[in-house]
């Protein structure tokens, strides 16, 4: 039997006037920046796989969006193979083995950067093109002048004092204004080394020495052994069924399990009146965040009940106000699709700058909270990064969004739109959103249920349509055997096909 949503998922390519669903033949990509989309298209056109395109796009993001991500940060992705198997790559790093204390910025906030290691774990498993081809778009952009984006220029000025305090006083980006053409020669040099030596260029030798020097100069305990012992974790995802769909999320130690818990609980509610779908989603995600510090338990948390009153807001709070991260989703002609997120956590991460190679380091140690997510030597904190794969009867969709604690909430709204409200993919991404944050309910101005949600007792706070806190969804997948992609009109998200 054909369900209504199956017919409408991409039936009207212009269902969203902002971002239509695009259908390609050789591949499809959605990413946080148009330059990243162009890089993936270039690689897919050259015969690359989804993995090749993904790494090319992420490398470009490290050049154009160092406030959100970079070589000093992390990467998580879910790979849905053409044969139906899904694998989870955890490119996050641990706290130093000599850890004594943690902070929210500076050297004591840095964990081992995992993105570069994850790139080569992914390429070794699924790549087809040589690294010098995959990295070429990023190297070219870093070396041959990047137009300074207004948002990055503004972020640099907001964080100038912190960046200068932690060693970035001579960073070429700090002296640029929006629209300037800037060269990042040090970063290009490191990418050149990575092309030749793969991840060894980052985790050993002069790059590792520069990272250790910068961290220790600003109060951290990281040493060469911490970097050289880093390994990417590859595992099976956590999976739940939802009204004819199947959702795959990252296993520990990420908050992806909170999305799976919320989706499972939402499915168990049965038929939900249309005017209570958002309320139920808000209540269930708030309930799931009570288990955030226990995310390391993974699939076992699916047995935990999530409760709600369908007629009254619980005002439990839970989700926090972090915003950062960048998403990339890619599908290829072979039927593989990958969902991913890259991040340095806060804007420019720890603020600690590695001047020899032109990048800042993450502050993921700031993600440690209370037990069992308390800080300890060699331990990974719970991560906000929560990419997802959604299996549908017409093929898999790879989804991601930035927004830290908002990721779970934004993806739940898109998925429930497809599965419960049976709207098409473009409309599910386009329509107004809510975000629970620090006990308040932020709602985009044009959301039709603001007054009704307030009447249920939610502490409603209006935010502008397109506010960064509403996320920026990236989707790529395989529908009816063809690669598709859709971006979000929010932020600088874009999509493309080949």
Q: What is the pLDDT of residues 10-27, one digit of tens each?
A: 433 333 345 899 999 999
- 160 and 221 housed in the same domain: yes
Q: Which of 202, 26, 53 lies closest to 123 in space, CA to CA?
A: 53
- 271 and 291 housed in the same domain: yes
**Rounded distance between C-alpha atoms, residue 311 and residue 313, angstroms:** 7
233 pLDDT tier (thresholds 50, 70, 90)? very high
Instruction: Tell me which of 15 and 328 has the higher pLDDT.
Output: 328
- 177 and 82 housed in the same domain: yes
pLDDT for position 18: 59
Paired tokens of 139 = 């190297």
Instruction: Tell me which of 368 and 322 has the higher pLDDT.
Output: 368
Specify if 123 maps to a domain.
yes
**Rounded distance between C-alpha atoms, residue 284 and residue 229, angstroms:** 39
CB 207 within 8 A of CB 357: yes
**Rounded distance between C-alpha atoms, residue 227 and residue 93, angstroms:** 9
Tens of pLDDT along 427-484?
A: 999 999 999 998 999 999 999 999 999 999 999 999 999 999 999 999 999 999 999 9
Tens of pLDDT along 51-71?
A: 999 999 999 999 999 999 999
**Rounded distance between C-alpha atoms, residue 257 and residue 291, angstroms:** 9
**Rounded distance between C-alpha atoms, residue 366 and residue 349, angstroms:** 10
Q: What are phi and psi of 399, to 5 degrees?
A: -125, 145
Tens of pLDDT along 171-180?
A: 999 999 999 9
Specify if 1 maps to a domain.
no
Half-sphere exposure of 342 (CA within 13 A, CB side): 35
Q: Which of 99, 13, 125, 85 lies closest to 389 in space, CA to CA?
A: 85
- 126 and 207 housed in the same domain: yes
Specify if 483 maps to a domain.
yes
**Rounded distance between C-alpha atoms, residue 437 and residue 107, angstroms:** 28
Tally of residues, the chain: 498
Rounded average pLDDT over 360-373: 96
- 97 and 130 housed in the same domain: yes
Angle ∠(363,366,372) on CA atoms, nearest 5 = 135
Q: What is the DSSP letter of 415?
A: H
Model confidence, pTM: 0.95
Paired tokens of 149 = 């984006």
**Rounded distance between C-alpha atoms, residue 14 and residue 21, angstroms:** 8
pLDDT for position 319: 83
pLDDT for position 322: 64
- Cα of first residue to Cα of last residue in the chain, in angstroms, is 32
In the predicted structure, residue 7 carries a pLDDT above the cut 70: no
Q: What is the DSSP letter of 46?
A: T
pLDDT for position 6: 41
Q: What is the DSSP letter of 159?
A: T
Point out the least confidently predicted range of 319-323, 324-328, 370-374.
319-323
Q: Which of 91, 58, 54 lies closest to 76 in space, CA to CA?
A: 91
Tens of pLDDT along 98-124?
A: 999 999 999 999 999 999 999 999 999
CB 85 within 8 A of CB 350: no
Tens of pLDDT along 376-403?
A: 999 999 999 999 999 999 999 999 999 8
Specify if 378 maps to a domain.
no
**Rounded distance between C-alpha atoms, residue 273 and residue 280, angstroms:** 10
Beta carbons within 10 angstroms of residue 40's beta carbon: 33
Rounded average pLDDT over 199-220: 98
Instruction: Tell me which of 8 and 61 has the higher pLDDT.
Output: 61
- 277 and 138 housed in the same domain: no
- 160 and 224 housed in the same domain: yes
The domain total for the chain is: 2
Please give the residue range of the domain that contains residue 71.
Answer: 31-234+325-367
Centroid of chain to Cα 284: 22
Specify if 17 maps to a domain.
no
Rounded average pLDDT over 159-186: 96
- 183 and 306 housed in the same domain: no
In the predicted structure, residue 4 carries a pLDDT above the cut 70: no
- 217 and 312 housed in the same domain: no
Name the 3-class secondary structure at 386: coil
In the predicted structure, residue 9 carries a pLDDT above the cut 60: no
**Rounded distance between C-alpha atoms, residue 157 and residue 105, angstroms:** 17
Please say whether the dihedral angle defined by the alpha carbons of residues 356, 115, 141 and 182, taken in this order, is positive or negative: negative
Q: What is the DSSP letter of 72?
A: B
- 445 and 297 housed in the same domain: yes
- 109 and 50 housed in the same domain: yes
Domain end position, chosen among 315, 349, 367 = 367
Q: Which of 125, 133, 110 lies closest to 59 in space, CA to CA?
A: 133
pLDDT for position 323: 66
pLDDT for position 133: 98
Specify if 24 maps to a domain.
no
Specify if 204 maps to a domain.
yes
Query: Where do runs of H (alpha helix) occur along 198-311?
Result: 200-203, 205-217, 224-228, 256-268, 277-288
3 pLDDT tier (thresholds 50, 70, 90)? very low
CA distances from 211 to 120, 197, 359, 364 (A): 20, 17, 10, 15
- 292 and 349 housed in the same domain: no
Rounded average pLDDT over 145-161: 94
208 pLDDT tier (thresholds 50, 70, 90)? very high
Specify if 163 maps to a domain.
yes
Rounded average pLDDT over 259-276: 95
């Amino acid at each position: 039997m054909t369900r209504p949503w199956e017919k409408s998922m991409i039936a009207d390519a212009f269902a969203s006037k902002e971002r239509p669903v695009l259908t390609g033949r050789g591949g499809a990509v959605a990413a946080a920046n148009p330059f990243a989309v162009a890089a993936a298209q270039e690689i897919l056109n050259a015969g690359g796989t989804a993995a090749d395109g993904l790494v090319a796009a992420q490398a470009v993001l490290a050049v154009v969006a160092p406030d959100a991500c970079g070589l000093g940060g992390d990467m998580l992705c879910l790979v849905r193979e053409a044969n139906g198997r899904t694998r989870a790559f955890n490119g996050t790093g641990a706290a130093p083995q000599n850890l004594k204390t943690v902070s929210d910025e500076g050297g004591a906030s840095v964990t081992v950067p995992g993105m570069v290691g994850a790139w080569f774990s992914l390429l070794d498993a699924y790549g087809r093109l040589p690294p010098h081809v995959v990295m070429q778009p990023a190297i070219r952009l870093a070396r041959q002048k990047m137009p300074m984006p207004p948002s990055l220029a503004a972020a640099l000025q907001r964080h100038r004092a912190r960046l200068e305090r932690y060693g970035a006083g001579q960073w070429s980006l700090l002296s640029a204004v929006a629209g300037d053409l800037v060269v990042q020669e040090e970063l290009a040099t490191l990418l050149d080394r990575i092309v030749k030596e793969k991840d060894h260029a980052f985790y050993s030798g002069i790059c590792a020495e520069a990272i250790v020097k910068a961290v220790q100069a600003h109060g951290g305990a990281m040493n060469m052994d911490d970097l050289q012992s880093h390994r990417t974790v590859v595992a099976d995802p956590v999976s739940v069924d939802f009204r004819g769909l199947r959702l795959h999320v990252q296993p520990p130690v990420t908050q992806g399990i909170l999305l799976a818990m919320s989706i499972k609980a939402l499915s168990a509610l049965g038929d939900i009146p249309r005017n209570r779908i958002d309320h139920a989603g808000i209540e269930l995600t708030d309930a799931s965040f009570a288990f955030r510090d226990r995310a390391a338990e993974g699939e076992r948390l699916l047995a935990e009940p999530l409760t709600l009153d369908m007629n009254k807001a619980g005002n439990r709070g839970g989700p926090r106000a972090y915003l950062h991260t960048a998403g990339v989703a890619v599908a290829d002609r072979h039927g593989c699709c990958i969902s991913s997120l890259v991040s340095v956590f806060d804007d420019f991460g720890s603020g600690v700058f590695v001047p020899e190679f032109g990048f800042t380091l993450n502050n993921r140690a700031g993600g440690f909270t209370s037990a069992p997510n308390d800080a300890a030597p060699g331990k990974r904190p719970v991560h906000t990064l929560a990419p997802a794969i959604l299996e549908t009867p017409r093929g898999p969709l790879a989804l991601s969004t930035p927004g830290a604690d908002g990721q779970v909430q934004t993806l739940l709204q898109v998925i429930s739109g497809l599965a419960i409200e049976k709207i098409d993919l473009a409309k599910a991404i386009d329509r107004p959103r809510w975000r629970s944050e620090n006990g308040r309910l932020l709602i985009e101005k044009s959301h039709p249920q603001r007054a009704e949600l307030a009447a249920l007792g939610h502490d409603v706070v209006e935010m502008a349509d397109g506010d960064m806190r509403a996320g920026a969804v990236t989707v790529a997948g395989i529908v009816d055997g063809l690669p598709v992609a859709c971006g979000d009109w929010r932020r600088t998200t874009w999509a493309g096909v080949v």
